[in-house]
Structure 1
């Protein structure tokens, strides 16, 4: 009863996924963990306590192996503490989308088998596990347990263990929550020194559109074979399209934490882009179609609350279908018509996140033919088409924002970028973003597009080089430069809009050098 679930998980991974050395290591780790559990139970003198404890530990043991194997099946990598972060920042709607996106018959079958094991073991009146303990003295049992524990620890085999990662991830998450609390990022003003707006006395309206899970490789304005951005393609000559911009992370919180803060929370004090715009005398607005809370306020909701006005339109905690991003447009109209002379407006879209077909209205159900992909499967074709439809809807929304801002006839810009990219059957037979073991370029390579009003272009100049290698971890310096805001901590060498910009090593995800990592992978293919 104890060994069989280990063998079932091993066989499941062998038959249903691309098998690799990790699977052998995980199997060994499961046997060593089993040795620890049974050895610990053998130390319990009373049979009734031993029986109850064995049933509890059996449930945890079998459930953990099921989660590990299912996670490996979905993401082709091992379970990690990062997954716990994502789970704790997830709401019911996102969880529902995840279930419908990734849960397959194979996973349901595996979990059903594990459930049968658990039920069969639990209904026994009495579980005779190690009742008659071996005739070893307690000190030898303790020596065995200690030796096994150190073997797990120093061999690194414990790393993918679900209970370990659950405890580790949970502790790190709550530590992060406490860390954010000590930073005063919900206050209107930050710690920027000598902030000064250098623009002229005319009115200014600056808009930042934050997309979600969009890779630039699937956008028509980046020469994709499909016309996924027909609206922006019509005004392409009026856009500054940057072709080598990446996110520093493949998940929203980590990516935007770096992009919207001065020091990525690595120092004793921290300040955000919203606080900078407040200090510069702008009225700030945060309009979001992202759900504002996980277990606690997320980092982004804390950043948003420093705004003079903030709106969260998505409150579907108990439903899988979320509002379309166009619900933000009436709120944008209100912000644009505000009497304040200088305004900074952030729109945070759901964009192409999660279950793509829920991100757009029926009239954007455009692509239905067979798309190009290295992984031709019927199921993949449907997912790719819905992803492209959701991109076309984002194209429509960005175009609508530009039209509305343009009609104001002010010194204005609109900057659109995505928090991170998305792999959609380009380099892997996979869709989503998970950079733990096999990251792909599409998970990090994002669109970065700028529109400038005629009034802005007549009064100000920027240095535009479309091939500039840039990471949005330096976004704050770039937006402040574009907004003509000076402050002591500003570094022009980090602004993509400055003639003084200097490229630096771009670190992504698990401390990888982006340029060297993907260049070496391309070279190895040749």
Structure 2
């Protein structure tokens, strides 16, 4: 039998290590420092230790492994949010591998150091005589733990926000409760969307007089506006978009900072906090007499279980380059061109809507390219990012060329789902990744190119992606009862801009700026 260290000196050392662990593990889950949280975490672990060393070690090991896995998310995205949950549950194996590759080495170093420290605390705990901490104090510690745990929810209750236990700052409790609620909420929303697939749309079409035979909506990925030469960036990243005639929105702001949360609020009829899942861009076009097509280079993981793919599932003809069985394959966006050209050449007695959903500039950027980048910009990652922008620009040029070859009237809209944030901006290892704290996470390109354009028009009004569904109807020249309220998307009248930052709808203007590197 191993000898226990029974002196008070070693017990004090153990308590100090446990306090340090309580602080670090709290921060590792993305929570800000908080005295109630640290006290609650410390007392929970201390009580578990006094009850049973096995119980203590089990809790410490499981919690430490979860903290270790979450540390990169805590560094870059903070505490748990619906955006993180949606990304986790709707990411295929290729995207997961690319995400792991994109993490800086220091994040892995932090994970390893934290895990080694946690194992050290666990090993040291086995050598301490737990009876030095008298059992009679358990009731006192339990009472203090309850107070620390309920303090924030109780404070919210007093402010009229309601008592919601997952709001607790004690991360040993709150982290698991909030993730349970987020996952439960995610699956509830997913079930609603799946249910709505079989429920007819409730659009009330008043008139449909499309001005063009072919409409093309191209949805880009992770493209920041300020890195595009079409918006004045000095490197020639978008030669086609910078020179073509059309209508350019200078201040189009995405609804949210990552794909799932953004497109949920862009492609569906989103009113207040209620999403009408059966009413989306595809069902609107179909209700107005359009034939609809959905061509996607983003995965159809497990049966239309991404926000965008569920919209696509309602189209008349659907094509995915990636299905469940081959979601790990990296396929270039050019793969969509032949299927688009083939369908475009088929005769139709209806106006047509084609939606092309790209991988675009999705991190990891170098994986998006078919050849080495032509840019030599700061480092490999940013050079690949600039090249991915140019590659999307070239794809749009080819799509327009196919439309011109068809010889019918056409109109094309391109926008990106969200932008990105710099990481390690002051070092040579600077990179770009999803974030929610800066204007540039939401500032994205928007351009409309039509066969009858005679000039390039720039609109400087602030425009919110929350209102895209109104602009979409106006683009198709479709009047629908709930969308026909006098609002003009393609105008110089400013929208009041709010964005969803994974937690709440917040004002856009107070956000900090993270300008492009030149």
TM-score, length basis structure 1: 0.80
Question: In 2 relative to 1, CA 205–319 (structure 1 residues): closer, same or farther, beyond 3 Å?
Answer: closer
Match of 1:375 in 2: none
Which one is further off, 2-11 or 400-409? 2-11
Deviation at 1:355, TM superposition (A): 0.5
Match of 1:378 in 2: none
Match of 1:47 in 2: none
1:249 to 245, 256, 275: 256
Aligned length: 481
Determine the C-alpha separation between the residues in 1 that align with 2:304 and 2:132.
Answer: 48
Cα deviations by residue, 1:204-261 (Å, 9 ceiling, x for unpaired): 110000001101111111111000112333xx24222221111021111111111111
Q: The residue matched to 1:322 in structure 2 has which SS? A: coil
Q: The residue matched to 2:182 in structure 1 has which SS? A: helix
TM alignment of 1:466-485, pairs within 5 A: 466-485=459-478
Q: The residue matched to 2:215 in structure 1 has which SS? A: strand
Does the CA contact (< 8 Å) of 1:357 and 1:387 recur in 2?
yes
Match of 1:223 in 2: 232
The answer to whether 1:332 aligns with 2:333 is no
Match of 2:396 in 1: 398
The answer to whether 1:514 aligns with 2:508 is yes
Deviation at 1:474, TM superposition (A): 1.2
1:358 to 350, 364, 367: 367
Match of 2:207 in 1: 196
Question: In 2 relative to 1, CA 169–410 (structure 1 residues): closer, same or farther, beyond 3 Å?
Answer: farther
The answer to whether 1:161 aligns with 2:171 is yes
Does the CA contact (< 8 Å) of 1:90 and 1:294 recur in 2?
no
Which one is further off, 177-186 or 476-485? 177-186
Q: The residue matched to 1:259 in structure 2 has which SS? A: coil
Does the CA contact (< 8 Å) of 2:247 and 2:456 recur in 1?
no
Question: In 2 relative to 1, CA 300–247 (structure 1 residues): closer, same or farther, beyond 3 Å?
Answer: same
TM-score, length basis structure 2: 0.81
Does the CA contact (< 8 Å) of 1:9 and 1:66 recur in 2?
no
Deviation at 1:472, TM superposition (A): 1.5
Cα deviations by residue, 1:446-488 (Å, 9 ceiling, x for unpaired): 110111013xx69xxx996521221121111112111111111
Deviation at 1:388, TM superposition (A): 0.2
Does the CA contact (< 8 Å) of 2:361 and 2:385 recur in 1?
yes
Cα deviations by residue, 1:422-443 (Å, 9 ceiling, x for unpaired): 22469886621211xxx22211
Deviation at 1:100, TM superposition (A): 0.9
Which one is further off, 307-316 or 471-480? 307-316
Does the CA contact (< 8 Å) of 1:274 and 1:284 recur in 2?
yes
Which one is further off, 188-197 or 473-482? 188-197
Match of 1:376 in 2: none
Deviation at 1:163, TM superposition (A): 6.0
Determine the C-alpha separation between the residues in 2 that align with 1:137 and 1:325.
Answer: 64
The answer to whether 1:275 aligns with 2:278 is no
Cα deviations by residue, 1:263-286 (Å, 9 ceiling, x for unpaired): 258448441110011111111111
Q: The residue matched to 2:354 in structure 1 has which SS? A: strand
Does the CA contact (< 8 Å) of 1:507 and 1:514 recur in 2?
yes
Match of 2:219 in 1: 210
Question: In 2 relative to 1, CA 504–154 (structure 1 residues): closer, same or farther, beyond 3 Å?
Answer: same
Deviation at 1:82, TM superposition (A): 3.6
The answer to whether 1:413 aligns with 2:411 is yes
Deviation at 1:125, TM superposition (A): 11
Q: The residue matched to 1:300 in structure 2 has which SS? A: helix
Match of 2:40 in 1: 32
Which one is further off, 62-71 or 172-181? 62-71
Does the CA contact (< 8 Å) of 1:68 and 1:78 recur in 2?
no
Which one is further off, 385-394 or 140-149? 140-149
Q: The residue matched to 2:376 in structure 1 has which SS? A: coil
Deviation at 1:58, TM superposition (A): 1.0
Give the alignment's Cα RMSD to 1 decimal.
3.7
Match of 2:181 in 1: 171
Match of 2:434 in 1: 433
Question: In 2 relative to 1, CA 116–2 (structure 1 residues): closer, same or farther, beyond 3 Å?
Answer: farther
Does the CA contact (< 8 Å) of 2:254 and 2:417 recur in 1?
yes
Match of 1:96 in 2: 97
Match of 2:110 in 1: 110
Deviation at 1:357, TM superposition (A): 0.7
Match of 1:292 in 2: 300
Which one is further off, 82-91 or 337-346? 82-91
Does the CA contact (< 8 Å) of 1:205 and 1:343 recur in 2?
yes
Q: Which runs of 5+ in 1 are unaligned?
A: 45-49, 371-380
The answer to whether 1:368 aligns with 2:362 is no
Q: The residue matched to 1:362 in structure 2 has which SS? A: coil
